[in-house]
Structure 1
Amino acid sequence: MRPTAVQPLRYAINVTLDGCCHHEAGLPPDAESMAFWTDELRRSDTLLYGRVTYEMMQSAWRRPASGVWPDWMDAADIAFADVIDAIPKSVVSNTLEVVDWNAERTNGDLRTAVEALKARPGRGISLGGVALPAALAELGLIDEYTFVVHPVVAGRGPRLLDGLHDQLALELVERREFASGAVAQRYRPAAVPIGTSVPTGGSGA
């Protein structure tokens, strides 16, 4: 029997040269980077956030009750906001009682909940944040990693995938340089973990 297809879970985040993932670190967004992140969102049908990231993104990108985006937004910001505002969201939280902004709440066992989400029909799930992705990487549930590396040393802040107990082996599948000096690097989990011996042929006798 053919195995049931599952949606890919894709983690993407901005990161500085010293591994900081704080949302205020790195270069200011420009039209090129905003277009990149808008296209990243368009690859998926669902956004997966923890409570902190959900609340932060909602405060910045939810469409105002008036229906009119604020004056500080330019065309690139509005394109991003239009996409993120409309995408269904799943929020992993045991403390939030109610979520809105086109969202559902996910709680209970993390592996079971995310595997069920991946089993739904769809093109993919976009994962954001810091703590939740580290937990999901530890469980081996992330299918793709995209890091936009900024030419900045932050010196402080939460670190990329901090807390992993085992080494994570990744294969580079795509690389893109931005005019700003930032570099987008896309990875998938390596087929053979680092440190594993690969047979080279022969009987071994």
Structure 2
Amino acid sequence: MRPLRYAINVTLDGCVHHEAGLPPDADSMRFWTAELERADALIFGRVTYRMMESAWRRPATGAWPEWMDETQVPFAEAIDRARKHVVSRTLTEVDWNAAPLTGDLRHAVERLKQEPGEGLFVGGVTLPLALANLGLIDEYVFVVQPVLAGHGPTLLAGLRESIRLELVERREFGSGVTALRFRPGT
């Protein structure tokens, strides 16, 4: 069975807003690129899908935008070519190498996990909460930013039951960012 990995940037006070942390450096961009490349497919909710598409979809010209530096191009290429599944009640059409994930969320994700491959990746805020509440996440990756945001959406706010996690990997970057990988424990 393919594992479902949830990965997200989070500040020290638990904020998961995409602009609350440090600007990405070369180390963190390499880390995020490797995370995407470990996945056979990405699963996004509507909001995350649209946000990622607006930032990382290759423009029709074929040239990456000028704001993107050389450390971001491998990430952009990885996410642009990745297979994507989009969970949404309101979005009826998707493209960007994506397909809607329809029907009962638990059953749809369980079917994806049963397919052969290395793993699935989920990002965002709302969808991962639903998946955590269903017990479907096999690995949690928190890229901890040494920042106190003081406001914004927080990590897994509304979780119905606590989930005990076991630390399986810790990586520190020169910027002070720490990537922590956990698996649900017993």
Question: What TM-score does the superposition give when structure 1 sets the normalisation length?
Answer: 0.89
Match of 1:18 among 10, 13, 16: 13
Match of 2:144 among 140, 149, 153: 149
2:54 maps to 59
Which aligned pairs between 1:64-103 and structure 2 lie closer than 5 A?
Answer: 64-103=59-98
> How far apart are residue 33 of structure 1 and its match?
0.7
Does structure 1 residue 104 correspond to structure 2 residue 92?
no
CA offsets, 1:145-194, max 9 Å, x none? 0001111110111110111111110000000111111111100000x2xx
Match of 2:159 among 125, 147, 164: 164
Q: Partner letter of residue 32 of structure 2?
A: W
For the 8 Å contact 1:11–1:126, the answer to whether it is kept is yes
> How far apart are residue 51 of structure 1 and its match?
0.3
> How far apart are residue 108 of structure 1 and its match?
2.0
Match of 2:118 among 123, 134, 148: 123
CA distance in 2, matches of 1:185, 1:77: 21
> SS state of the match for residue 75, structure 1?
coil
2:128 maps to 133
2:30 maps to 35
CA offsets, 1:112-160, max 9 Å, x none? 1110111111110011001100110111100000001111110111110
- Give the root-mean-square deviation of aligned CA atoms: 0.7
> How far apart are residue 107 of structure 1 and its match?
2.1
Using CA pairs below 8 Å that are at least 6 residues apart, which structure has the higher relative contact order?
2
CA offsets, 1:41-81, max 9 Å, x none? 01011000000000000000000001111122121111110
CA distance in 1, matches of 2:82, 2:131: 21
Structure 1 stretches of at least 4 aligned residues deviating more than 4 Å after TM superposition: none
Q: Partner letter of residue 167 of structure 1?
A: S
CA distance in 2, matches of 1:107, 1:21: 26
1:200 maps to none
Q: Partner letter of residue 40 of structure 1?
A: E
Q: Partner letter of residue 7 of structure 1?
A: R
Match of 2:173 among 178, 186, 204: 178
Question: What TM-score does the superposition give when structure 2 sets the normalisation length?
Answer: 0.98
Q: Which has more radius of gyration?
A: 1
For the 8 Å contact 1:21–1:130, the answer to whether it is kept is yes
CA distance in 1, matches of 2:151, 2:6: 22
For the 8 Å contact 1:94–1:108, the answer to whether it is kept is no
Q: Aligned pair count?
A: 186
